[in-house]
Amino acid sequence: MTRYVMAYPGAEPKELLSTVEIASNIPPDPRMNIGDFIRSNDIKTVLELGTGSGSSAYWCALAGAKVTTVETLWVSNRCQGFVEEVWKGNITLVLCSPDFPPVPTDRKFDFVFIDTSHILAQTEIDVAFAKQYSPKWIGFDDESTAGVSPVIGKLCDEWKASKMGIGWDIVAVKAP
């Protein structure tokens, strides 16, 4: 029995992906451009928890990484370029329940990027999920929020590492 609702691009009903609206006034968010970080750290695979508009996944794909992005809710508004990168095979979108590892834990990723609810308990769960994928780095959006900042502090203490700024209110912590 599978617990994955659907994964893109391989198993998607075209009707669902066709419901994505790409408004001409919604370019990829430039503050989510972490492409320089992706390139300079030779990151080839990214697991993103929390797709949102798709901006960070888009920028990672443009930097050359293969991205698996996980969302618990279908969001019909995506940034320009996101759907094109899905069709090219550079981004795989997984829709799933939030209460289990979102992709099989035998997969490994160079970078796990967390941009979910920013609620403390959820961020702690996300970090526990992230560690299962043996990443070289774990990154966080909205670092300054009350539900994210303490989790970053705990991870830095655990890994005896410091956080590294990689974008506007975006940080990454290098694994030991």
CA 104 to chain centre: 15
Alpha-carbon span 118 to 167, nearest angstrom: 17
Total domains in the chain come to 1
CATH for 45: 3.40.50.150
Reported pTM: 0.85
What pLDDT digit, counting tens, does each position of 50-91 carry? 988 888 999 999 999 999 988 877 666 778 788 788 888 899
Q: Does residue 119 form part of some domain?
A: yes
Q: Is 110 domain-assigned?
A: yes
Does 29 score more than 80 pLDDT? no
Cα atoms found within 13 Å of the Cα of residue 75, Cβ hemisphere only: 18
Could you tell me if 105 and 132 are in contact, meaning their C-beta atoms sit under 8 angstroms apart? yes
Please indicate, yes or no, if residue 25 is contained in any of the structural domains.
Answer: no
Asked whether residue 136 is assigned to any structural domain, the reply reads: yes
The answer to whether residues 67 and 59 touch, using CB atoms and an 8 Å cutoff, is no
Name the nearest CA neighbour of 82 among 95, 97, 67, 96.
67
- The pLDDT score that the predictor gives to residue 46 is 97
Query: How are the residues of the chain apportioned to helix, strand and coil, as percentages rounded to the nearest 5?
Result: 30, 25, 50
Which structural domain range is residue 166 located in?
A: 4-19+30-174
Please report whether residue 143 resides in a domain. yes
Residue 134 lies in a domain: yes
What pLDDT is recorded for position 7? 45
Judge whether 24 lies within some domain. no
- Residue 67 located in a structural domain: yes
In angstroms, the CA 120 to CA 117 distance is 9
